[in-house]
Amino acid sequence: MGSNNHPLQTLSAHESPFQISYENIAHIPDILKERCLLGLIYFGRQKTEIYDPRIITVELPELNEGGNVEVWRAPSIPEIGYDSKGGIYYSRTDSILFGYLQFEENEFSGLEQAAYDAYQSILSCQERLGYPYLLRIWNYLPDIHREEGGLERYRAFCLGRYQVLETTPNFERYLVAATAIGTEASRMLIYFLAATEPGIRVENPRQVSAFHYPFRYAPRSPSFSRATLKQWSNEVHLYVSGTASIVGHETQHVGDPIAQLDETLNNLQALVENAQRLHGLKIKTLNDLGPLKVYLRQGVDWVSVAHRLQDRLGDSVPALFLQGDICRHDLLLEIEAFYIESLIVNK
């Protein structure tokens, strides 16, 4: 395992464990000079010509004009390293581990085996580095709707993931927020956030827990929660999974992207209210959310969806629009979100 061997600094009482922002792609060279950079997420099928192990390329077309990157920053200089046993590049501080792995799928017999090996590698890396609790995970998977061995590839992915996670202690209790989106890339990409202490699983009262979906959705349950709530020393974070137009476990408003957007926002509102009721969050409306990612199956829908989102949330919530396949054929979009609440009392 290689690393830059910076000593890990303890988080002070007034520092956030990390910050996320969307910034213009033209600023990449300057961003990469920052000593406290955890990671930079680049979107698009054309890879950046700059090599840096902190750059993660998500091969989904960005639909926004201008070009954006997602920037993760730490409050102190992170240790940058490579876990050669798991093939995982990572950045870490004393409180968080931010890592990713990617590989050509033809190295495996299929997506089930690739998912199994990937999650084994992630869990083993967490154990070796001392961050045993996942908080959030993103899965970008090639060609998720194609059948493979008589099984849709997304369902095969769910099976491989489940087979690893079910071996962990208190498996269902510690299910975390997740996103799974289909790409046209040849590589499978997974990136994740882990910590030394667990978060709290949060569900949506309007929806059946994905873990308890009927068998017809996958031979093994989709293993994620609707959100993860994490209390840090001076902040509470809510990491919201990719959320779609599903009530109970059924897709709503088939073929209508605007109606699906409205139903998705209803689900996000119900989730936020549940976190507020059960855990005392002060968030009241969706306008308080931080960066959103909006995934659209059809790029042609993005202008009308963006206008409707602006009508509902206003201009204050930053949103990135990306084109990719949603986990069900009849879902046209999904939205993931992030929320930070300060625990510092100003006197």
Bridge pairing between strands 187-195 and 246-247: unpaired
Residue 335 is predicted with a pLDDT of: 99
Please state the rounded mean pLDDT for residues 182-187: 94
pLDDT of residue 8 exceeding 60, the answer is: no
| pLDDT tens-digit map of 284-337 | 899 999 999 999 999 999 999 999 999 999 998 999 999 999 999 999 999 999
- pLDDT (0 to 100) of residue 17: 97
Q: Check: CB of residue 183 under 8 Å from CB of residue 142.
A: yes
pLDDT, the chain, mean: 93
Q: Give pLDDT, residue 278.
A: 95
Tens of pLDDT, residues 49-67: 788 999 999 999 999 977 9
pTM summary value:
0.94
Domains of the chain: 2-342 (3.30.1330.40)
For the annotated catalytic residues, the residue numbers are 334
d(CA 327, CA 8): 38
Task: Name every residue whose Cβ is closer than 8 Å to that of residue 36 and which is 6 or more positions away in sequence.
Answer: 73, 74, 75, 76, 77, 78
State percent of the chain over pLDDT 70.
Answer: 95
- pLDDT (tens digit, 9 = 90+) per residue, 101-114? 999 888 888 999 99
> Between residues 130 and 170, which one has the greater pLDDT?
130
